[in-house]
Structure 1
Amino acid sequence: MKHFLLTMAGVFAGLLLFLVGVPFLLIVLAAGASGPEPTPARTVVELDLREVITDQDSANPFASFGQPSLSVLKIVTTLRKAETDDHVRGLLVRLPEAGMEPAMADEISDSLRRFRKTGKPVIVFSQGVYPAGATPSTYMLAAAGGQVWMQPGASLQATGLVSEDIFLKRLFERYGVRAEYEQRKEFKNAVNGYLQSDYTAAHREATRSMLESIYGSALNRAAADRRQSPATLKAALESGPLMAEEALRLNLIDRVDYLDAARKQLTDRAGKDAEFRDLRDYARSQRDLKSLTGPAIAVVTAEGGIVTGGDGGANPFAAEGAIYSDLLENALRAAIEDEDVRAIVLRVNSPGGSDTASEQIRRAVEAAKAAGKPVVVSMGPYAASGGYWISSNASAIVAQPTTLTGSIGVFGGKIALGEALARVGVDLRQVGVGADYASAFSLGSGLTESQRAAFGRWMDQIYARFIGRVSEGRRLPVERVESLAKGRVWTGAQARELGLVDQIGGFYDAVDRARALSGVNQEMRLKWMASEGSPFEAFERLFGVSAASARTLAASAWVLGDPRAQALLDEMAWSRMPPGSAAVRAPAPAY
């Protein structure tokens, strides 16, 4: 009887969801599904960079169900189309106040410089740039747009670049928490916050070097766009914080005025009845009418922490992504089997993750090369540690000057809470069988001497394997790789000088490199390959609706013209490292 009641309750819940939830979803989809409006004859595209921006498009149909998220790849590919669109007469860029990732700023600024060459007017409008995030890179992005406007009374505070880290060692000691970690090697500082009370010499050296490289790159590029010497620009910025009127006097900006004045100037230049169109809306109107046959360059995207397996059980509402080794391998092998695909661009934005998942993906890259299809990696803000592992065997690597890469190293360990819990009346006890190492990663106690020795040997083996993979992929002597490794993070500019990266540039530079390596002497279309799980499976997990029914629902929405119906399931958030495992993951600087 109990089972019958539970079954009936489930049936009732399913019917309720089908009768109420599914129609609700259809209504929501239909609300914005009247189809993309055609681009007005005189259009000014508006790019608002004040929101959170990812490197790659979110594939999750649920996480950003309202307004579609904005990504760097969406921005650069859409601006590339706008360059040759006669309907587009200008561009308005809204600058973020809190800064943005340096490599993101590099990529977008490259697109702005290219767009300016068309002769179409560009205004970058700012309501202030404040010391949060990589603000020198944000100013560099503004300078790339040509005309820089600031609202009266706004402030320009791009006086330098600082990274700040939290160290918990003294707190742990006070409360009886033990951080038990092994690092390979001294520059692998992802867990230094647990182990130290201040920067180690290696940690400080690497961080300062990284900041100097990023700061210098931003100053040099901005100075070129502002037609000043780097020294002059540096002195002007560092004299801040500056009010907009002072920034104008120092030739850091071009005009102090309000947004409506900027809109009017662009409207006057664009022509009578010109309309402003948000970049995402404009992108929706630009359906690719090119032939879907013929030679192609496959684009495979990878963003987030690297984990093993597929996305089974992933939270469909999660905003943060992960790179699932099975799914990314499947995408690469689909590109291998596609007869139209002649080369592959693998876009990577990852601080790393699982060593075994990284090796699985690296092997798929090797398989593509063996099949005669060169693979060019385009690095986003991060391609470090495991992100570099999966990139190291590519035919070529293209990175922005401020991409964070390298971090060839490994760490692993645990937090032991036994003493801390005992102080508040919680006792941990254990019973076990087998070798002493079986209890190495229990929650209660720290590592014994023999356990640490065994764990250290295992870490050494993973580190040596990482070194060997980089040596093979980059065709560098093992000794050379060892000198560059030790867990140290390099910027793209530094990595280029060291031989870890082949070229400085963005996504379309990687596309051009892939085309050249393919040997095809004609224009090739981009073919975006799915590297995430199906949204229909997510729908089934959430609502108990069959995948076939979900496809029918999505097909209905597609007919109505909503591009979200074609979205794929997003990556779930990076999960914490399981006890006793190793991670090839880079630290994230806190600007």
Structure 2
Amino acid sequence: MKQFLTTMAGVFAGLTLFLVGVPFLLIVIAAGATRPAPVPGEVVLQLDLRSPLTDQDAQNPFAAFSGGSTSVMSVIEALHRAESDRRVKGLLIRLPEVGMEPGAADEIRLALRRFEAAGKPVIAHSQGLYQSGVVTSTYMVGAAAGEFWMQPGSALQATGLAVEDIFFKRFFDEYRIEPDFEQRKEFKNAVNGYLHSDYTAAHRTAQLSWMNSVYASGLNLAASDREMDPAVLRARLEAGPYSAAQALELKLIDKLGHLHEAKQTLLTAAGDDARLLDLSAYARSIGSLERSGPTIALIEAEGPITTGQNGLSNPLAPSTMIFSDDVAEALYEAAEDDDIKAIVLRVNSPGGSDTASEQILAAVRAAKAADKPVVVSMGTYGASGGYWIASEASAIVAQPTTLTGSIGVYGGKLALGPALAEFGVDMRELGVGGDFAGVYGTGGSFTPAQAAAFSSMMDNVYQEFIIRVARGRNLTPQRVDEIARGRVWTGAQAKSLGLVDEVGGFYQAVDKAKALAGLEGEVRLRRMTPHATPLQALERALGMGSVSVKTLAAAAWVLGDPRAQGMLDTLAAERLRAQHSAAVLAPTPVR
């Protein structure tokens, strides 16, 4: 008995330490991490693009403890401030060895061009570019720098763009798995891998269309920045791969040199007392966004779109979901604030739930009704549900390589019953009420009545999407249907079709918002993106509704158990999969 009580006392003490001590420690660390440090005199900024790159900062205060990432928004904001900061004398960029998301590369390229236009030198250093995904986008960022260096002995393999898709039909046929899906329409290819063993004609056409547009855009911008004929640059790159020495000889880069030499070159030009400073440290020292003039709200949304609030995802990891309650509330708050004159909604999403997308769109309408122009700035993608929430904005600004459109819908299920029966596992279902009550059961395919009802539902969602786009873009429903049907367009293509208003980056969207609101001169950008405080994050982590799972899983995560991380990520994913009505989701772009 004594031993039992001693053991229980130890368990209680351990849980108390975790539930009280760990949260307290994390809050203290998080608070300390946000305290800005002064810029140490004259500096050369250093930006390492080899770390994970998201479009926006994480929406919880403990993201750094999961390894962290660099956000495109934080990079361009810091460089924008550095343009006019006399202490900043130059910039060193370390390029990744693989491809970057095209929209992210476009945004960073624009920031580099503005930085150099302010008279500040930029060196991009590469330890090799290797053929993988959209490596041309990485080359484009390097080409935007005043000097493009490569390490001696490295390789330049930017010869093109390729994607690879997996098709499961023959596997499903072999094991009697029955995919039962509806698509609206032929170009909505998110589930083609379940239904076919190769690209359909529509799938192939749509895929090659956006790939050619993304590839050509990157090449043309790189050629412009390097003052080369686009046809010449394309021919030289596609004839590769090359060693770094060969790339220099062909004028594809500017200089061979090691990283230390590139650093010393910039520091020497900056002055004897200049120091290297990481761009993230500089960003913390200057705070966030502009601080004077009329106010424009900035609301950010990144990831698949789902209903509800940000409460199911791992509170110790970056949020990768758009929760409709949170974003809609931020839009309503901005609409009701008399100091807010316009709103910029930054969207980086492949889509998600149609009902969640409609909730956010309703808030966009409310902001416009309150005489607050809403300008959408699209990142790497603003497709399907991501386009739904943008469709009735006052204006849409997209990068030339943004993947957008995908105006369509799909839904369905995988019937696993026949496959499991082969292994002696029988699925049985009981139900009361209408035939549709068991429509999502995985024991078998849709009945004829269920299939007809489900098909009608898909038609309704598609038509509702068409109506919103037609209303928002001042097009007829017939014209929208012609350019929709599930097609994915790039921003450059979408501009010519009337689906976006301007091709450009975040600060072009800010300028558009200023113009629509009748503002001149400097403006203050107030970030109103939903973010959890340290206490809110912990309340969600240890909430009454899921205390046992989340407490133990978070404890295991802190102790380094990868299974717990997987469990928490699965909880977030299941939230989206549980919405059976319809999915307006586009394929995630390649890197």
Same fold (TM over 0.5): yes
**Cα RMSD (Å):** 2.3
CA distance, structure 2, for counterparts of residue 196 and residue 445 of structure 1 = 19
Q: Spell out, residue by residue over 1:407-464, the C-alpha distance to the aligned partner (whole angstroms, 9 max, x if none).
A: 0000000011001111111111112222222222111101122211111011101100
Q: SS at the partner of 1:361?
A: helix
Per the TM alignment, residue 118 of structure 1 is displaced from its structure 2 partner at its CA by: 1.5
Q: Which residue of 2 aligns with 1:125?
A: 125
- Alignment-derived partner of residue 88 in structure 2: 88
CA contact (8 A) 1:60 1:571 kept: no
Equivalent pair of 1:17/1:543 in contact (CA under 8 Å): no
The answer for the alignment partner of 1:555 in structure 2 is: none
> Letter of the aligned partner of 1:398 in structure 2?
V
1:510 is aligned to 2:509: yes
Residue 572 of structure 1, CA deviation: 8.4
Name the residue aligned to 2:455: 456
Shift of 1:59: 1.9
Q: Does the Cα contact within 8 Å between 1:354 and 1:386 map onto a contact in 2?
A: yes
Does the CA-based 8 Å contact 1:413-1:579 persist in structure 2? no
Q: Could you give the per-residue CA deviations for residues 283-338 of structure 1, whole angstroms, max 9, x where no partner exists?
A: 1111369657x620000000011101112333213435111111101000111111
The corresponding residue for 1:20 is 21
Which residue of 1 is the match for residue 287 of structure 2?
287
| Structure 1 CA distance for aligned equivalents of residues 50 and 312 of structure 2 | 33
Contact 1:320/1:571 (CA < 8 Å) preserved in 2?
no
Q: What letter matches 1:136 in structure 2?
A: T
> How far does residue 256 in structure 1 lie from its aligned partner after superposition?
0.8
Summarize deviations over 1:452-490 as a string: whole Å, max 9, x none: 111101110110000000000111011110001100000
For residues 232 and 9 of structure 2, what CA distance do their matches in structure 1 show?
A: 76
Q: Aligned to 1:97, what secondary structure does the other structure show?
A: coil
SS in 2 for 1:383: strand
Indicate the residue corresponding to 2:142 in structure 1: 142
Question: Could you say which residue in structure 1 is the equivalent of 2:442?
Answer: 443
Distance in structure 2 (CA, Å) of the matches to 1:396 and 1:381: 17
Q: Which residue of 1 aligns with 2:523?
A: 524
Amino acid at match of 1:287: G
CA change 1:571–1:332 in 2 (3 A) is: farther
Once the two structures are superposed, the pairs formed by residues 154-193 of structure 1 within 5 Å of their partners are: 154-193=154-193
Question: How far apart are the structure 2 equivalents of 1:467 and 1:199?
Answer: 26
Following superposition, the deviation at residue 397 of structure 1 comes to: 0.3
CA contact under 8 A between 1:321 and 1:572: conserved in structure 2? no
Letter in 2 for 1:382: Y
Given that 1:304 and 1:574 are in contact with CA atoms closer than 8 Å, whether structure 2 keeps it comes out as no
Does residue 63 (structure 1) correspond to residue 54 (structure 2)? The answer is no
- Matched residue, 2:52: 52
The residue type paired with residue 191 of structure 1 is: V
Q: How does 1:454-493 map to 2 (within 5 A)?
A: 454-493=453-492
Alignment of structure 1 residues 542-581 onto 2, 5 Å: 542-543=541-542, 573-575=572-574, 576-578=576-578, 580-581=580-581
Q: CA 1:333–1:571 in 2, change beyond 3 Å: closer, same or farther?
A: farther
What's the counterpart of residue 397 of structure 1?
A: 396
Q: Say whether the 8 Å CA contact 1:414–1:579 is kept in structure 2.
A: no
Inter-partner Cα distance in structure 1 for 2:454 and 2:69: 42
Closer, same or farther: CA 193–18 of 1 in aligned 2, 3 Å: closer
Matched residue, 1:206:
206
Q: What is the distance in 1 between the residues matched to 2:238 and 2:152?
A: 20
Aligned to 1:564: none
1:128-183: CA deviation from partner (whole Å, max 9, x where unpaired): 11111211111111101121000001111110011211000101111111111000
- Distance, in Å, in 2 between the alignment partners of 1:67 and 1:587 is 26
* TM-score (ref. length: structure 2): 0.91
Contact map agreement 2:95 2:126 (CA 8 A) in 1: yes
Q: Which ranges in structure 1 are unaligned for 5 or more consecutive residues?
A: 546-569
Distance 1:577 1:448 in 2: 22
Q: TM-score, normalised by structure 1?
A: 0.91
Structure 1 residues 291 and 91: CA distance shift in structure 2, 3 A:
closer
Aligned equivalents of 1:198 and 1:78: distance in 2? Answer: 45
Tell me, in whole angstroms, the C-alpha distance in 2 between the residues paired with 1:116 and 1:8. 63
Specify the code of the residue in structure 1 equivalent to 2:256.
V
Tell me what 2:314 maps to: 315
- Amino acid of the structure 2 residue aligned with 1:63: A
- Name the residue aligned to 2:557: none
User: Hey, what does 1:111 align to over in structure 2?
Assistant: 111
Distance 1:30 1:452, change over 3 A: closer
Distance in 2 of aligned mates of 1:200 and 1:446: 23
Aligned residue pairs, count: 560
Report what 2:564 is aligned to: none
CA contact (8 A) 1:319 1:573 kept: no
C-alpha contact (below 8 Å) 1:441/1:579 kept by paired residues:
no
Evaluate the alpha carbon distance shift between residue 328 and residue 179 of structure 1 in structure 2; reply closer, same or farther with a 3 A threshold. Answer: same
State the partner residue of 2:418.
419
Q: Which amino acid aligns with 1:16?
A: L
CA separation in 1, counterparts of 2:289 and 2:518? 25
Paired residue for 1:560?
Answer: none
Q: Distance in 2 between matches of 1:412 and 1:238?
A: 40
In structure 2, how many angstroms separate the alpha carbons of the residues matched to 1:282 and 1:87? Answer: 11
User: Distance in 2 between the 1:57 and 1:74 partners?
Assistant: 7
1:304 alignment partner in structure 2: 303
* 475-484 or 444-453: bigger deviation: 444-453
Corresponding letter in the other structure for 1:542: A
- Distance, in Å, in 1 between the alignment partners of 2:340 and 2:32 is 37
Q: Between 436-445 and 151-160, report the one with greater CA deviation.
A: 436-445
Q: Which moved more, 1:37-46 or 1:367-376?
A: 37-46
Q: For the residues of structure 1 that align with 2:291 and 2:138, how far apart are their CA atoms?
A: 38
In the aligned structure 2, how far is the partner of 1:42 from the partner of 1:66? 32
C-alpha distance in 2 between matches for 1:455 and 1:31: 53
The answer for the alignment partner of 2:325 in structure 1 is 326
Q: Which residue does 2:563 correspond to in 1?
A: none
Report the secondary structure of 1:173's partner residue. Answer: helix
Q: Deviations over 1:32-61 (max 9, x none)?
A: 57x433212220000000011000111222
Q: How far apart, CA to CA, are the structure 1 residues paired with 2:334 and 2:10?
A: 45
2:277 maps to 1:277: yes
Unaligned runs of 5+ in 2: 545-568
Partners of 1:145 and 1:571 in 2: CA distance: 41
Q: Distance in 2 between matches of 1:130 and 1:85?
A: 35
Q: Give the aligned partner of residue 540 of structure 1.
A: 539
Structure 2 residue matching 1:65: 3-state secondary structure: helix
Q: CA deviation at 1:63?
A: 3.0
Secondary structure at the aligned position of 1:190 is classed as: coil
**Are the equivalent residues in 1 in contact too, given 2:77–2:289 (CA < 8 A)?**
no
CA distance in structure 2 between the partners assigned to 1:252 and 1:17 by the alignment: 55
SS of the aligned residue for 2:252 comes to coil
- Summarize the Cα distance change of 1:204–1:373 in structure 2 as closer, same or farther, 3 Å threshold: same
Q: Residues 55 and 449 of structure 1: is their aligned pair in 2 closer, same or farther, counting only changes over 3 Å?
A: same
